[in-house]
Each structure stands twice: as C-alpha cells, then as structure tokens.
C-alpha cells in the first residue's frame, strides 16, 4: 500500500511527464529565470491555491500565505517577501486575496483556545472594532461574517499602502499597484473589491 507521501511523489512524476510532453523545454526555461508578474498575499486555507484559482502557470505568481491573509507591519516574514518582490523581482501588482468561508475570520468573531492562533487573530478583531458600527447594524450573523471577510481584505490593502517598502517604491516612481480581491469557495469565483491603489491613500485613523 502506498504511503500518502508516495502518492504525492507519484503525482509529481505524472505532472512532469504531462508538462514535458507538451513543452519539452518548460523546466529548462523555469530554471533560467524567476520573473513573476504578481505577489499574492492569501490565506493558508488549502482550498484557495493561488495558481489554481487564477489559472496562472508556474513562475507567474510569487506567494505569501498566512491565516486570514493578514498584513502585519511587524511580520518580518511578510516584509521580506514584499521587499524581495518589489525591489528584486520588480513585481508591479500586489494582490491581497481573502475568501468567504475563512475559518480565521470566523474564529476571530468567537473564541478559540489555541493561544498562538488567538494572538494572531487579534489583527482581525482590530478590523472588527474599526468597523463595529457597520457590522453591529447587520442583524444576520452570517451576513455580518461575510462582510467582515470583505472588510478584512480591504483593511489589509490599506495597511500595505502604509508600509515603508511600498511608500519608498512609490516615492521612487516605481509602478506598483495594490489590489483587494475575494474568492468564494462556494462557487469558485474571484471578485474585485474595488480597493486598488497605485499611490499613497489618505491616512486612515
């Protein structure tokens, strides 16, 4: 009986065979250059793989993922990815992608006993507090949850726009666009949230 790891390795070999059958030089080209067009900041949820839902090929998408697709100004991992993408890979589009059905956002609305997750989700609770008036006016709990998912993405885009790496790039005249999009697991569709920025936004409280 094959192990779960062996099944993954077998699928890899099948994928390699399929790619080289249609394009014998595919991996040779991949090895020679790394020139992604996008930086994708998404949720760690296994149901939202960036390349699959966007139908982009290997090499097109530079990816950073964490629970609830949060942009934290003190997260050195995210900051390193962002700087590398902008200053070395010359990516011009940075996408924050959230998704309906996000367990992280759902947990932030309730309680969790996992201490590390709890601390991380305080970032979502900050979004919840910032938009408390709007959210409290939504009587239906599921509708309130779905709106918080949207607001969380939007706030992460605004946080991105205030980071020194991004502001420095804009100050140098670098073409850099920030976008917020939403994926719905229930139907597989990506939706633009209309919060794209190509320069500093007005500072928000």
Active site residues: 43, 45, 47, 99, 102
CA distances from residue 183 to 124, 152, 178 in whole angstroms, order as listed: 18, 13, 17
> Which two three-digit tokens encode residue 9?
């390795």
Looking at residue 114, what DSSP letter applies? Answer: -
How many residues would you count in the chain?
205
Q: Is 70 in contact with 124 (CB distance < 8 Å)?
A: yes
User: Using CA atoms, how far apart are residues 11 and 60, in angstroms rounded to an integer?
Assistant: 21
- Give ∠ CA 123-129-73 in degrees, rounded to 5: 30
- Helix ranges (H only) for the chain are 4-22, 26-32, 50-54, 76-83, 103-108, 115-130, 132-136, 141-162, 164-171
| Helix, strand, coil tally for the chain in percent (to 5) | 50, 15, 35
């Amino acid at each position: 009986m094959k192990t779960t790891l062996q099944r993954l390795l077998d699928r890899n070999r099948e994928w390699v065979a399929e790619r080289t059958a249609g394009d014998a030089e595919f991996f040779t080209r991949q090895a020679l250059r790394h020139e992604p067009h996008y930086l994708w900041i998404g949720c760690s949820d296994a149901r939202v793989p960036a390349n699959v839902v966007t139908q982009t090929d290997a090499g097109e998408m530079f990816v950073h993922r964490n629970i609830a697709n949060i942009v934290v100004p003190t997260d050195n991992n995210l900051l390193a990815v962002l700087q590398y993408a902008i200053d070395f890979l010359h990516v011009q589009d940075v996408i924050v992608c959230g998704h309906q059905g996000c367990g992280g956002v759902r947990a932030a609305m309730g309680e969790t006993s996992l201490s590390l997750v709890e601390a991380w989700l305080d970032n979502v609770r900050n979004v919840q507090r910032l938009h408390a008036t709007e959210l409290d006016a939504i009587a239906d709990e599921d509708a309130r949850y779905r709106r918080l998912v949207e607001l969380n993405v939007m706030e992460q885009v605004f946080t991105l726009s205030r980071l020194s790496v991004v502001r420095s790039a804009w100050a140098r005249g670098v073409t850099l666009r920030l976008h917020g999009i939403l994926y719905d697991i229930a139907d597989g569709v990506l939706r633009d949230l209309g919060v794209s920025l190509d320069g500093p936004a007005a500072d928000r409280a």
